[in-house]
Structure 1
Amino acid sequence: MGYCKFLTVILFLFPFLQFSYLTEAQNGDPSAQTEVFCYYGSWATYRPGIAQFEVEYINASLCTHIVYSFMGLRDGVIVSLDEYNDYEENWGKGALTRFANFAKTNGLKAILAIGGWNEGSVKYSQMAATEAARNTFADSVVTFVQKYNFDGLDMDWEYPTQRGGTPQDKENFSLLLETLSDKLHAEGLILTVAVCADSDIAKEAYDFKKVAQYADYISLMSFDYHTATSDNVTGLNSPLHAIPEENRNNTKLNVGYSVNQWLGGGVPASKLIVGIPLYGRTYILADPEDHGLGAPINGSGTAGPHTKEPGFLSYYEICMETKWNVERNDAEGYIYAYYDNNWVSYDDVTTVTSKAQFVKEKGLAGTMMWALESEDFRNQCGEGANPLLTAANQVLGRL
Structure 2
Amino acid sequence: MATKNFIPLCILLIYQTVAESSNLQPSNPSDWSPSISSIPYPSSLHGIQAAYWPSFNEISPSSIDTKYFTHILYAFLLPEIGTYKLDITPIDQTKISEFVDALRTRNPPVKTLLSIGGGGSDPAVFSNMASTKHTREIFINSTVEVARKFGFDGVDLDWEFPANDQDMSNLALLFKEWSIALHNEAKINRRSRLLLTAAVYYASKFTVYGGLRSYPARAINKYMDWVSPMCFDYHGSWENFTGVNAALYDPKSNISTNYGIRSWIQAGVPPEKLVMGLPLYGRTWKLKDPNVNGIGAPAVGVGPGDGSSGTMDYYQILDFNNGTRATVVFDRLSVSYYSYVGDSWIGYDDVRSIQKKIRFARTWGLRGYFFWALGKDKDWTLSIQASNTWRHQWP
TM-score by length of structure 2 reads: 0.82
**Residue in structure 2 matching 1:192, options 170, 174, 197:** 197
Asked if the contact 1:71/1:78 (under 8 Å) is kept, the reply is: no
How far has the Cα of 1:233 moved from its partner?
1.1
Q: 1:201 to 1:209 in 2, by over 3 A?
A: farther
| 2:46 pairs with 1:33 | yes
SS at match of 2:232: coil
**Residue in structure 2 matching 1:328, options 327, 330, 347:** 330
Q: Which residue is 2:301 aligned to? A: 299
CA distance in 1, matches of 2:365, 2:391: 13
> What amino acid maps onto 1:177 in structure 2?
F
How far has the Cα of 1:309 moved from its partner?
5.2
> What amino acid maps onto 2:195 in structure 1?
I
How far has the Cα of 1:184 moved from its partner?
2.0
SS at match of 2:254: coil
Q: Deviations over 1:178-206 (max 9, x none)?
A: 11111123321111010011452496141
Segments of structure 1 that go 5 or more residues without pairing to the other structure are 7-26, 45-51, 88-93, 377-384
| 2:71 pairs with 1:77 | no
Report the more deviating stretch, 312-321 or 172-181: 172-181
CA distance in 2, matches of 1:238, 1:190: 27
**Residue in structure 1 matching 2:116, options 110, 114, 117:** 114
SS at match of 2:137: helix
CA distance in 2, matches of 1:209, 1:275: 21
CA distance in 2, matches of 1:110, 1:311: 30
CA distance in 2, matches of 1:76, 1:208: 29
Aligned CA RMSD, in angstroms, stands at: 2.0
How far has the Cα of 1:281 moved from its partner?
0.9
- Map 1:370-381 → 2, pairs under 5 A: 370-376=372-378
| 2:170 pairs with 1:172 | yes
Aligned identity (percent) is 31
TM-score by length of structure 1 reads: 0.81
CA distance in 2, matches of 1:139, 1:149: 15
Aligned residues: 343
| 2:215 pairs with 1:206 | yes
CA distance in 2, matches of 1:299, 1:215: 40
Q: Which residue is 1:349 aligned to? A: 351
**Residue in structure 2 matching 1:338, options 328, 333, 340:** 340
Q: Which residue is 2:311 aligned to? A: 312
CA distance in 2, matches of 1:268, 1:97: 35
> What amino acid maps onto 2:385 in structure 1?
A
**Residue in structure 1 matching 2:228, options 219, 223, 245:** 219
Asked if the contact 1:97/1:149 (under 8 Å) is kept, the reply is: no
CA distance in 2, matches of 1:160, 1:262: 16
Report the more deviating stretch, 268-277 or 291-300: 291-300
Q: Which residue is 1:43 aligned to? A: 56
How far has the Cα of 1:159 moved from its partner?
0.2
Q: Deviations over 1:100-158 (max 9, x none)?
A: 23332122110000101111211110111111111111011111111111011110000
| 2:110 pairs with 1:105 | no
How far has the Cα of 1:160 moved from its partner?
0.2
Asked if the contact 1:303/1:311 (under 8 Å) is kept, the reply is: yes
| 2:385 pairs with 1:391 | yes
How far has the Cα of 1:32 moved from its partner?
6.0
**Residue in structure 1 matching 2:241, options 223, 233, 240:** 233
SS at match of 2:366: coil
CA distance in 2, matches of 1:398, 1:120: 41
Asked if the contact 1:181/1:215 (under 8 Å) is kept, the reply is: yes
Q: 1:224 to 1:191 in 2, by over 3 A?
A: same
Asked if the contact 1:78/1:144 (under 8 Å) is kept, the reply is: no
